[in-house]
A = this chain, B = another copy of it.
Amino acid sequence: MSDLLERLRGRGWRMTAQRRVVAEVLNGEHVHLTADEVHARAVAKLPEISRATVYNTLGELVSLGEVLEVTTDKRAKRYDPNAHRPHHHLVCARCGAIRDVHPLGNPLADLPDTERFGFTVSDVEVTYRGLCPDCAGA
C-alpha cells in the first residue's frame, strides 16, 4: 500500500528499501505473519535485509498504530496490517489458520461491575477456536 507509505513519510519516516519491503509483505486481508515469516518474505525481495531491521520496523509500525500485534499463537507474536477496523480472530486449532471476524455485540458490556475488581477496563481481545473446513472435513 503506497497509502501506508505516504502516511508514514508524512509522519517523518525516512523511506528505505527495507521499510518498503516490510510494508509490502504486510499487505492483504487475513494476514497474520510472525516476524520470521515477514523476514523470509522480505528476504525474497531484498536478500540482504537483516532480522534486526525486520524486528525494528515491525515494532515501529505497531507503535505508529499501523499494524497490530496478535498473540493467538503461544509461540511467536503475529503482525496484522488490518489495524483500522477493530476485529477479533478465529483460529484453527489443528493447522493454525487465522481469519479476521467481526462479532455482534460488545463483550465489554458483558462484564458486570462486580466482576471488575475496581479495574478500569478499556479493551477486550477475543479469540475463537475451532477447526477450519479443511481440518474438519474427515
- Show the binding face of A for B, using Cβ within 8 Å: 69, 71, 74, 77, 90, 92-93, 99, 101-105, 107-108, 110-112, 115-133, 136
Complex interface: chain B residues within 8 A of A132 (CB): 117-119
Contact B115 A101 (CB under 8 A): yes
Q: How many subunits of this chain does the assembly comprise? A: 2
Contact A111 B128 (CB under 8 A): yes
Q: What is the distance, in angstroms, from A61's C-beta to the closest C-beta of chain B? A: 16
Given contacts A125-B126, A125-B127, 12 further A-B contacts (CB under 8 A): A104-B111, A105-B107, A107-B110, A111-B128, A117-B132, A118-B133, A119-B133, A120-B131, A121-B128, A124-B128, A124-B129, A126-B126
Contact B105 A117 (CB under 8 A): no
CA distance A121 to B135 in the complex (A): 12
Contact B126 A130 (CB under 8 A): no
Q: Which residue on chain B has the smallest CB distance to residue A134?
A: B118
Q: A129-B124, A129-B125 are in contact. Are A110 and B119 (CB under 8 A)?
A: no
CA distance A101 to B113 in the complex (A): 11
Complex interface: chain B residues within 8 A of A121 (CB): 90, 128-130
CA distance A125 to B103 in the complex (A): 13
